[in-house]
Amino acid sequence: MEIPGYKIQHRVGQGGMATVYLATQESLNRSVVLKILDVNGPLASETLIERFLSEGRIVATLNHPCIITIYDIGIANDSLYISMEYIEGGDLKTRMELPITPDDTLDYIAKIGSGLDAAHKMGVVHRDIKPGNIMFRDPDTPLITDFGIAKQTDAIDNDLTATGLFLGSPNYVSPEQADGIEIDGRADIYSLGCMFYEMLTGKKPYAAATVFDVIIQHKQAPVPVFEEGLEEFQPLLNKMMAKNRDQRFEDAATMVESINKLQRKRKSSPTIIDFDTAGVIPPDRAEQKSTQILNILLLLLMTSGGIFGTLQYAESRMNDDSSRLDKVPTTFVMPETIPSANVADDVSDPARAHVKMSEDVLQALHWLGKKSLEEYRLTQPSEDNAYYYFSRLLEADPTDKVATAGLLNIADRYAYLAERSVLDGDHDKAHAYIMIGRKFNPNHETLIKLNKLNLDVGEKSFMEKLKIFFTGD
């Protein structure tokens, strides 16, 4: 495959419409993505060729920081190609494999909504808004990509077949798009509402045994209701996912303003507690919540004079297999060949060299890191643990928020293991877990308090230790 002016590096992926390659634009020596359609290939058709060219023309007319940039459209030999910016930050689908806080969720959908507003004002409806079509230029800048089935609202719609099939993704499709009727920008708002729900809960709005049944639910089922702790987001979701599009936000700009208003309200409220997509408090709030739980528990122990309820506490705290937790090693030697777990000092270091990794490798490392956390493979076995996988990710991108949060979550898990050990009376094990946890987060409030509580075990009574814990004296 040769495209004049470009040096193709390797294939990135194969889509339903074209093949995607990583390439270098030789005149500017910059990395680009080439989307190439073989006009004589088995997938080519007049409709597909027109749709391919339409994508290039549509995106080229859009100029917004949250919409991918098109550099060039051309033809070489028997191939049509679109040259666009190369994005290294991965997609939202991958990022959602680990918790996203409500504040980050609001920030993302506001920025995506702003990009949609720009597209809609140019008469363009995306029609396939979903996590896999949202890329990240940097950790805080989501980009709308893949306008392959986008439609200009003044164009004739030939996308419905005789059997009534539609173009789009069933998990995020609006009722009117599923019905095959004329659509406008409010269809994209509905799809973004589906993503909003999924980012906050970790679940898609509707689930069923077949694609057909999922589509029926999009058309007929009520707007999903958030669980306890996320109620403040329900009015926004209702306006985004209303079945009757006349009851949705009238346009994306109005939706973004509503999101911004909610963001301002949350910033002005001192009582907000952020929950991640699985209902777990994210790293920046986890220390505070863990300390509150520990304080309450110790107060109950002091007033009751015993340690009854220890097992119930352990079960309710993490709902994990005790036998597995008991086997978590109490030793850990910090390797020198992978990044330090001291995120605040290490990740922001501009001198640290980046290690180039393919998108497939990055996605695999994210998944393996999350899985290792869930299974409490925190620092061992060697090269198959959460620390190893998240550190590899930080070698590739020191600003990777998912990896940074993963390292902080390791500290949270060691805090939990230390709490269990203190309550079980195994102070040596508790001390070991505390020391390891503080390697990842030296300022972890729960670990610091646990360390005070665990000091001088043989010299002080339980009541004296509680006094130290609460007063610091």
Cα separation, 227 vs 347, in Å, equals: 34
* Strand arrangement of the beta sheet that strand 70-76 belongs to: 6-14, 19-25, 30-38, 79-85, 70-76
Name the helix (H) or strand (E) containing 137: strand 134-138
The catalytic site residues sit at 128
Residue 327: which of 403, 412, 420, 391 has the closest Cα?
420
Question: 398-428: string of b/e by CB count within 10 Å (b at 16+)?
Answer: bebbbbbbbbbbbbbbbbbbbbbbbbeebbe
d(CA 252, CA 396): 35
Say if residues 71 and 59 touch (Cβ distance below 8 Å): no
Q: Which two tokens stand for residue 8?
A: 């193709």
Which contacts (CB < 8 Å, 24+ apart) does range 306-312 have?
A: 307/423, 310/423, 310/424
Q: What is the CA radius of gyration of the chain?
A: 26
CB neighbour burial string for 141-173, b if at least 16 within 10 angstroms, e if fewer: ebbbbbbbbbbeeeeeeebeeeeeebbbbbbbb
Q: Is 129 helix (H, G, I), strand (E, B) or coil?
A: coil
Q: How many residues does the chain have?
A: 473
- Cβ atoms of 294 and 450 within 8 Å: the answer is yes
CA 27 to chain centre: 36
